[in-house]
Structure 1
Amino acid sequence: MGQIFLKGAAAGLLVCCVASAHADTDSLLMTYSFDSLKGKFGQTQETKAKAFTLGATYVTPSYRASIFVPYISLEGPGTFVNGTVTNSTNQSTRKESGLGDVLTTLSTDFIGGPTALGWTVGATGLLKLPVGNEDKGLGTGKTDYAAQGDFAYRFKDGFSLNGNYGRQIYGKSATVQLKDGNYYGLGFGLALSNELNLNFNATKRDAIVAGGQDRKERTISGVYAFGPTSALQVGYTKGYSQASPDKAFSASLIFQQ
């Protein structure tokens, strides 16, 4: 949990742009995103999911608060859970659409900050609200929680290392028997210019259903800043276990209001 695909990466890059231009002022970032993924997720039939997401991130010098509201189109037997799909007790192919579960996050930095060179260390709390219809597979009908530690090290030449480690607590659902577990991610970023950044990340999460595999994924993404108040992000994710999507694509536009 913690992302609806890659919106956090794009928001983070624009936070840096905004923080550089307006270091002592509050800002509101609006995110407009499209995501698409597909895979079998441990079942015999493939599930395809698309999400159109409206997000908002309130940025202050001391914290960042976000909310993401997705509209989901789902085709297949899987259930949409926290920006991805997992197998469920349902085995029939279905085609549904509607609002998905809402994700909220709150982040703060204890050391450094979005534009600081050297170490940045912080924490993020995540709360998933059960808005999606459980019977349609658009959500689990339960509230989920997560807490994670975040770290990064930024070099002067535009190269950066980043990572996180967290614990996910799932609400108990009759439709999908979700297991609490840990997750972590490691990656690096490279600034090719003042406007263009490339990011590479690897993530692993404990199995979230009994008998399932750990989720293992690799992501490459690029963020292009049109200026200090707008950016475009695109990303591609490849799964390396049966619990992960075969592939996922993400595109986001972010604007400072």
Structure 2
Amino acid sequence: MKRSAAFLSLLLVAGVAHADDGLSLGLGVDYSSGDYGSDTTTKIFSVPVSAKYATGDWTFKASLPWVRVDGDANVVPGLGNLVNLNPKGRGRGNSGGGGGGTTAPTSGTTSGIGDLRLAATYAIPLQGRWGVDLTGNVKIATADEDKGLGTGENDYGAAVDVYRSVGAATTLFGGVGYTVLGESDFIEVDSVYNANLGVSHKLGNSSIGAMYDYRQPTSEAADDRSEVTGFYSFPTSDTGKLQLYATKGLSDGSPDWGAGVNFTAGF
């Protein structure tokens, strides 16, 4: 049983059956907008490219997005509103200089490659209606910190996801995770716990569902992330699948709203 929501590859729920062995590739489009507790609305547009390889009880995933951010220089994709002291940050004119003092919030627009995310998941062999996944993940800091597209440091995390089939078409799922966030010379962050809970229901070959996601604040300046997501996926061919989703933020640590689409094809 596999799910990739916590991996942030935009495959919010990749079904709730064991993944077929082999390689699959994905391409998505994601857009979100919110003020994250600031006076400025920040808009984030990303195009993630992903790859997944499944063999036996193991699944390996990689995702790399192109990202465009328009908004507050203190808002970092995936982390929310932080205190970013980088003098070359988004909207600060690449002025150079050190990291001392407090940098006034400014706005700007930047784009580029985001952070590379890698994950390995082991599905514990179980009988019956239960399923358990153990995942280790790492974020490789490939995003440009001077553009405010990332922190410039690596992150490391682990997660446990649990599934329970209810009847022939419904699956309940939930999970908890912990991430050690890397600090840079300009951004201080805290390691965080996260949790999610949701339900998926099959409609023939399609599926529909909803998920709630929570994460602790990433720093003293940030708010916790709290949001709900609805999704719908359907096959486009014997090996292809299209997924649509929409997200509503419930706290300043989340965007006000977001939406996206993701296509995957197996080989």
TM superposition score normalised by structure 1 = 0.88
Equivalent runs, 1:98-137 vs 2, <5 Å: 98-112=112-126, 118-137=129-148
Q: Which residue of 1 aligns with 2:40?
A: 45
What letter is aligned with 2:28?
S
TM superposition score normalised by structure 2 = 0.85
The answer to whether the 8 Å contact 1:79/1:140 transfers is no
Q: Which residue of 1 aligns with 2:235?
A: 225
After TM superposition, give the deviation of residue 79 of structure 1 in Å.
3.6
Q: Which residue of 2 aligns with 1:67?
A: 62
The answer to whether the 8 Å contact 2:177/2:193 transfers is yes
Q: Which residue of 1 aligns with 2:7?
A: 3
Give the distance between the partners of 1:44 and 1:176, measured in 2 at CA. Answer: 20
Q: Which residue of 2 aligns with 1:145?
A: 156
What letter is aligned with 1:39?
G
Q: From the superposition, tell whether residues 88 and 35 of structure 1 become closer, same or farther in structure 2 (CA, over 3 Å).
A: farther
**Which structure has more helix as a fraction of its residues?**
1
Q: From the superposition, tell whether residues 18 and 213 of structure 1 become closer, same or farther in structure 2 (CA, over 3 Å).
A: closer
Give the distance between the partners of 1:251 and 1:117, measured in 2 at CA. Answer: 32
1:104-155 per-position Cα deviation (integer Å, ceiling 9, x unaligned): 111011134xxx7500012111100000000101111000011011110113
From the CA coordinates, give the structure whose radius of gyration is larger: 2
After TM superposition, give the deviation of residue 60 of structure 1 in Å.
0.9
1:185-213 per-position Cα deviation (integer Å, ceiling 9, x unaligned): 000011111x2101210011111120432
After TM superposition, give the deviation of residue 156 of structure 1 in Å.
3.6
Of the candidates 215, 234, 240, which is equivalent to residue 244 of structure 2?
Answer: 234
Give the distance between the partners of 2:61 and 2:153, measured in 1 at CA. Answer: 20
Give the distance between the partners of 2:259 and 2:176, measured in 1 at CA. Answer: 24
**Root mean square deviation, CA, Å:** 1.9
What letter is aligned with 2:36?
F
What letter is aligned with 1:75?
D
2:91 paired with 1:87: no
What letter is aligned with 1:98?
G
Q: From the superposition, tell whether residues 147 and 137 of structure 1 become closer, same or farther in structure 2 (CA, over 3 Å).
A: same
Q: Which residue of 2 aligns with 1:27?
A: 22
Which stretches in structure 2 are left out of the alignment for 5+ residues? 85-102
Q: From the superposition, tell whether residues 172 and 182 of structure 1 become closer, same or farther in structure 2 (CA, over 3 Å).
A: same
| Helix, strand or coil at the partner of 1:50 | strand
Give the distance between the partners of 1:132 and 1:105, measured in 2 at CA. Answer: 18
The answer to whether the 8 Å contact 1:159/1:189 transfers is yes
1:196-245 per-position Cα deviation (integer Å, ceiling 9, x unaligned): 10121001111112043211010000110124411000100101011110
Give the distance between the partners of 2:6 and 2:153, measured in 1 at CA. Answer: 16
What letter is aligned with 1:94?
G
| Helix, strand or coil at the partner of 2:199 | strand
* Corresponding pairs, count: 243
| Helix, strand or coil at the partner of 1:34 | strand
Q: From the superposition, tell whether residues 152 and 161 of structure 1 become closer, same or farther in structure 2 (CA, over 3 Å).
A: same
After TM superposition, give the deviation of residue 8 of structure 1 in Å.
4.2
- Provide the identity percentage: 24
